[in-house]
């Protein structure tokens, strides 16, 4: 009986041991060549939180990485990942982000790949709703936090020390980091002058290094297994059309898909919230995106991209003005964000495609906060102009 019980356990242990000791180079040899191209639109969290796929992507000039959050999953025909399939402009968009991918998450990702960012063009889509007064909460941070990237930050000596210290202080405010005693020990030693913290980190470092190696191996195996393709709307109807023709087409589709409300929200989304709509009227009076800890987190992103000599284009997306007016969210509270974020970006010499004047433009947004049919047309043009510029 004991033999029958322990045999599977011993087999499982041996299998795990073998998987761990296999050299990384062996695993990399059997990862399919098309894995990177497949990952470009999968929006696979394992890819966001790993390093292998993104490293390969950043080394390949064919890809233009687009960083953002939940709007990236709205894969209609005007979405960059679909539009640039039908209109080959010499690059393939590579989508990085999902709901809750706020500045601090992107900072960790950029820090992971700082060596590959020099001279690399990339697009970064901002979302106003990130900039709530207290910034990201645990429900957004936890599913997006990468343990591997967290450990790599601890071992990363290429980042400006002051930027690294500020990032660590922020990360130590989040439970997944505080609950990891090895990571906490490494982080505290970075920002503390206490000899006890330094000794604790010195003792922890060898074990943390081994753990990080295991996480890197895990990333390779996830890459080998691959992800699940997403349903896309790749349509020849957007091929070789002028921007005005595309806007007209987007208006028609938006009008067709948004028929049951006055907020220009897609019917399928409005059907989920219409029972709540009366209770949401004037619930946001006094709200503002003008003051938020998120601005400090976003500053970390800007500082790191500046240090890495990357070439980013920032996209400033508006909110749905009609909906925000209904909820009582003050116009001033939105304008304060648009102005502040623009000034923050331009202070670093980076370009920004500012669409804040499209709050009331029908079908620019697909719902209350996500960019929609016509909005993607404007974004596509901004991306093409950016990519074609020297």
Domains and CATH numbers, the chain: 25-139+230-388 (3.40.50.1110)
Helix (H) or strand (E) holding 314: strand 311-316
CB of 246 within 8 A of CB of 238?
yes
- What does the H/E/C string look like for 88-140? CCCCEEEEECCCCCCHHHHHHHHHHCHHHCCCCEEEEEECHHHCCCCCCCHHH
CB of 130 within 8 A of CB of 319?
no
Question: Which conformational region is residue 306 in: left (phi greater than 0), alpha (psi within -120 to 50 degrees), or beta?
Answer: alpha
Q: Within 10 Å of residue 222's Cβ, how many Cβ atoms? A: 18
Residue-wise DSSP of 342-388: HHHHHTTT--EEE-GGGTT-TTSBSSSSSB-HHHHHHHHHHHHHHHH
At residue 151, the 3 state secondary structure works out as helix
Q: Within 10 Å of residue 134's Cβ, how many Cβ atoms? A: 8
At residue 39, the 3 state secondary structure works out as helix
CB of 45 within 8 A of CB of 75?
no
pLDDT, residue 10, reads 59
Scan for tokens 């049951």, then name that residue.
260
Question: Which conformational region is residue 163 in: left (phi greater than 0), alpha (psi within -120 to 50 degrees), or beta?
Answer: alpha
CB of 213 within 8 A of CB of 19?
no
In order along the chain (390 residues), what is the average pLDDT of each group of 10 residues?
54 50 62 86 91 94 96 94 94 95 96 96 97 87 95 96 97 95 97 94 95 92 84 91 98 97 97 96 97 97 98 98 98 98 98 98 96 98 94
Gap between the Cα atoms of 333 and 37, Å rounded: 41
Give the pTM: 0.93
CA 113 to chain centre: 14
Q: For residue 338, give both structure tokens.
A: 């648009």
CB of 258 within 8 A of CB of 365?
no
pLDDT, residue 1, reads 47
Buried b (16+ CB within 10 A) or exposed e, 95-107: bbbbbbbbbbbbb
Torsion angle defined by CA atoms of residues 280, 281, 286 and 291, in that order, rounded to the nearest 10 degrees: 50
């Amino acid at each position: 009986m004991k033999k029958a019980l322990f045999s599977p356990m011993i087999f499982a242990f041996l299998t795990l041991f073998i998987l761990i000791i296999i050299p990384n180079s062996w695993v990399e040899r059997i990862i399919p060549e098309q894995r990177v191209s497949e990952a470009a639109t999968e929006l696979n969290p394992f890819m966001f939180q790993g390093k292998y796929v993104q490293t390969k992507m950043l080394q390949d000039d064919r890809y233009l990485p687009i960083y953002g959050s939940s709007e990236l999953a709205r894969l209609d025909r005007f979405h960059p990942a679909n539009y640039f399939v039908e209109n080959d402009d010499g690059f393939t968009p590579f989508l990085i982000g999902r709901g809750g991918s706020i500045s601090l998450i992107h900072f960790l990702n950029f820090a992971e790949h700082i060596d590959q960012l020099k001279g690399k063009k990339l697009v970064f889509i901002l979302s106003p709703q990130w900039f709530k007064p207290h910034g990201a909460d645990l429900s957004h941070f936890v599913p997006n936090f990468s343990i591997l990237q967290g450990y790599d930050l601890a071992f990363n000596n290429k980042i400006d020390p002051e930027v690294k210290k500020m990032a660590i202080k922020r990360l130590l405010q989040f439970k997944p980091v505080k609950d990891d005693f090895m990571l906490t020990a490494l982080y505290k030693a970075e920002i503390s002058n206490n000899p006890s913290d330094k000794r604790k980190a010195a003792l922890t470092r060898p074990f943390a290094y081994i753990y990080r190696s295991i996480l890197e191996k895990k990333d390779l195996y996830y890459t080998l297994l691959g992800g699940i393709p997403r349903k896309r709307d790749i349509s020849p109807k957007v091929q070789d059309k002028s921007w005005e023709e595309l806007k007209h087409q987007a208006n028609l589709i938006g009008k067709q898909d948004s028929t049951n409300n006055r907020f220009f929200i897609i019917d399928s989304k409005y059907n989920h919230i219409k029972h709540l709509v009366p209770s949401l009227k004037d619930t946001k009076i006094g709200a503002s995106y003008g003051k938020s800890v998120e601005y400090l987190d976003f500053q970390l992103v800007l500082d790191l991209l500046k240090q890495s000599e990357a070439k980013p284009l920032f996209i400033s997306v508006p909110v749905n003005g009609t909906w925000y007016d209904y909820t009582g969210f003050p116009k001033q509270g939105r304008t304060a964000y648009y102005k502040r974020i623009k000034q923050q970006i331009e202070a670093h010499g980076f370009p920004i495609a500012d669409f804040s004047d499209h709050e009331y433009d029908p079908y620019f947004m697909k719902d209350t906060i996500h960019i929609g049919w016509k909005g993607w047309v404007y974004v596509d043009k901004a991306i093409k102009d950016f990519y074609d510029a020297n």
